[in-house]
Amino acid sequence: MTDDLIIRQILKGDYTVLDAIYKEYREEFCTWICKKYGGSQEMALDVYQDAIIVLFQNIKEEKLSELTSSIKTYLFSIGRFKFISELRKKKTVLTKDGELEIAGPGLDMEDDRILKEERLTQIENALEQLGEHCRELLKLYYYKQLSMTDIMIQMDYKNTSTAKNQKYKCMQKLRKLMHLK
């Protein structure tokens, strides 16, 4: 069953599909979280259940109508953010022998780095789905930090207002791809 079909089935109220997803990825997710970030199987399962709920809510609220990745990748990404968020709330960190202890200030910096890397990956994936025109415009503005006048000249717009309007439209498309409405 394709990911798009899964989304349509859930929107129609066929929750057996959601149950199948839950069962299909549960063990793999819990193993992945425990290996990559440490923590208990119980904590990983709690986070997985939360991630399933977020997936369901995003589909039902139509925040997720078109995937930029697979359902599995999307679900694991939600779970990863949830797990890091839980660690941050508890201010705990896992030691090498698997024991939890109260974290010092270093955890926040590491969490922030991980969250920023994940966010950057999400932005890069969404940029890949944008048309070449929008991708170029946004790269000129955000990466090369060109002025609207320079962008107008380079992309052959009539005036800076047109360039600004195009940038706005491209940002709206990017936000939609990233499910940020």
Q: CA–CA separation, 171 vs 135, rounded Å? A: 10
**Residue 80: which domain range?**
3-122
Query: Are 43 and 59 contained in the same domain?
Result: yes
If you ran DSSP here, which 8-state letter would residue 91 be given?
Answer: T
What does each C-alpha distance from 124 to 8, 66, 120, 147, 170 come to in angstroms? 26, 16, 6, 22, 14
* AA letter at 166: Q
Radius of gyration over every alpha carbon of the chain, rounded to an integer in angstroms? 20
Query: Are 56 and 9 contained in the same domain?
Result: yes
Q: What is the pLDDT, as a whole number, of residue 179?
A: 66
SS3 content of the chain, % helix, strand, coil (to 5): 75, 5, 25
Q: What is the pLDDT, as a whole number, of residue 114?
A: 66
pTM comes to 0.52
Q: What is the pLDDT, as a whole number, of residue 98?
A: 43
Query: Are 145 and 110 contained in the same domain?
Result: no
Q: What is the pLDDT, as a whole number, of residue 101?
A: 46
Counting Cβ atoms within 10 Å, is residue 92 exposed (0-12), middle (13-18) or buried (19+)? middle
34 contacts 41 by C-beta, under 8 angstroms = yes
45 contacts 23 by C-beta, under 8 angstroms = no
Q: CA–CA separation, 134 vs 167, rounded Å? A: 7
Query: Are 79 and 135 contained in the same domain?
Result: no
Number of domains within the chain: 2
Q: What is the pLDDT, as a whole number, of residue 94?
A: 47
In this structure, the number of other CB atoms found within 10 A of the CB of residue 117 comes to: 10
Q: In the numeric block, which tokens belong to residue 63?
A: 């925040």
Q: CA–CA separation, 62 vs 157, rounded Å? A: 35
Q: What is the pLDDT, as a whole number, of residue 36?
A: 82
Q: What is the pLDDT, as a whole number, of residue 162?
A: 93
Query: Are 101 and 49 contained in the same domain?
Result: yes
List per-residue pLDDT tens for the chain, 181 residues long. 787 888 888 888 888 888 899 999 999 999 988 888 777 888 889 999 999 998 888 888 777 766 677 888 888 888 888 888 777 776 544 444 444 444 444 445 555 666 667 677 777 777 778 888 998 998 898 888 999 999 999 999 999 999 999 999 998 888 887 765 4
Query: Are 89 and 107 contained in the same domain?
Result: yes
Q: What is the pLDDT, as a whole number, of residue 26?
A: 94
Query: Are 106 and 33 contained in the same domain?
Result: yes
Q: What is the pLDDT, as a whole number, of residue 147?
A: 92
